[in-house]
């Protein structure tokens, strides 16, 4: 599948474990994984950062294979949930950085175009998240409001 706004296929990435069940060599219980997830979330880590830390430091290939729930499901069960999905929040932060850059360098036309592309991704994701009720239907991205936050 091709990437959005690019003419490449984007095949270079890490590959998830193929097995849906927990590996036999794993000696961590589901309760231990859930407590690790909650501890890292309280320290301010994002769900993707928690998954990376579990993979790299605690040898847990997938949280879902061990606990039966994803990291975000574990967090939402314990009422630790962000108001905006992580990928949308990162795109908004990226747009803010581009807006700040363009205020200082207003003749940078290449980054004007990249800001347009990022904002198109934000609108597309917002439409999806409103459809699956992860964002309120009244949520709206506006570049002026994003500058104030």
Checking 18-27 for CB contacts under 8 A at 24+ apart, the result is: 19/65, 20/65, 21/65, 22/65, 22/66, 23/61, 23/65, 26/59, 26/60, 26/61, 26/66
Instruction: Tell me the whole-structure pTM to 2 decimals.
Output: 0.81
Residue-wise pLDDT tens digits, 65-91: 999 999 999 999 999 888 889 999 999
Per-residue pLDDT of the chain (149 residues; tens, 9 = 90+): 467 888 777 777 777 777 888 888 999 999 999 999 999 999 999 999 999 999 999 999 999 999 999 999 999 999 988 888 999 999 999 999 999 999 999 889 899 999 999 999 999 999 999 999 999 999 988 876 566 44
Looking up tokens 């959005």, which residue turns up?
4
């Amino acid at each position: 599948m091709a990437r959005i706004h690019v003419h490449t296929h984007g095949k270079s990435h890490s590959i998830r474990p193929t097995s849906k069940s927990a590996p036999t060599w794993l000696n961590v219980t589901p309760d231990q994984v859930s407590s690790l997830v909650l501890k890292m979330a309280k320290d301010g880590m994002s769900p993707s950062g928690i998954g990376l830390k579990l993979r790299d430091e605690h040898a847990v290939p997938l949280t879902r294979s061990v606990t039966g729930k994803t990291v975000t499901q574990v967090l939402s069960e314990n009422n630790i949930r962000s108001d905006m999905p992580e990928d949308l929040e990162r795109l908004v932060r990226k747009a803010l950085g581009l807006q700040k850059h363009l205020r200082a360098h207003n003749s940078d036309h290449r980054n004007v175009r990249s800001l347009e592309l990022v904002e198109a991704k934000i609108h597309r994701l917002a439409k999806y998240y409103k459809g699956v009720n992860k964002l309120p239907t009244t949520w709206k991205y506006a570049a002026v409001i994003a500058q104030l936050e």
